[in-house]
C-alpha cells in the first residue's frame, strides 16, 4: 500500500468514528434508564393539569402504554414526544 491508500483508509476510519459519535450524541433515548412513569408522574414533570394531560392523550401528543386501564410512559418516550412538539413548533 502506498501513502495515499493509507491516508484514504485513515480518513474513512475517522469518518465512521465521527458518524457513530454523532449518532450517540443526538440520541437522548440511549442515556435514559428504562423507568416507567405513571400518568401522575408525567403531569408533575410537565406541570400540567389532569384535564390537559387527557387532552394531550386524546390529540395523540402523548401516547401512553396501557397496563390494564392505567397509563404509563417510558422516560425516553416522553422525551421523544417533547422533541416532536418542539420540532412542530408547539412548544
Read off the pLDDT of residues 27-45 as tens digits, 9 standing for 90 and up: 655 555 578 899 999 999 8
Whether residue 26 is predicted with pLDDT greater than 80 in this model: the reply is no
Structural domain for 38, as ranges: 32-87
20 with 45, same domain: the answer is no
CATH of the domain at 77: 1.10.10
8 A C-beta contact, residue 42 and residue 53? yes
Confidence of residue 79 (pLDDT cuts 50, 70, 90): confident
39 with 6, same domain: the answer is no
Instruction: Look over the chain and give the mean of its residue pLDDT values, rounded to a whole number.
Output: 83
- pLDDT of 49 reads 92
Amino acid at each position: 500500500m502506498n501513502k495515499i491508500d493509507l491516508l484514504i483508509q485513515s480518513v474513512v476510519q475517522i469518518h465512521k468514528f465521527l458518524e457513530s459519535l454523532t449518532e450517540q450524541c443526538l440520541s437522548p433515548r440511549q442515556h435514559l434508564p428504562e423507568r416507567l412513569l405513571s400518568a401522575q408522574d408525567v403531569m408533575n414533570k410537565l406541570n400540567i393539569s389532569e384535564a390537559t394531560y387527557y387532552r394531550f392523550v386524546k390529540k395523540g401528543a402523548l401516547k401512553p402504554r396501557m397496563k390494564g386501564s392505567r397509563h404509563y410512559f417510558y422516560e425516553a418516550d416522553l422525551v421523544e414526544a417533547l422533541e416532536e412538539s418542539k420540532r412542530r413548533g408547539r412548544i
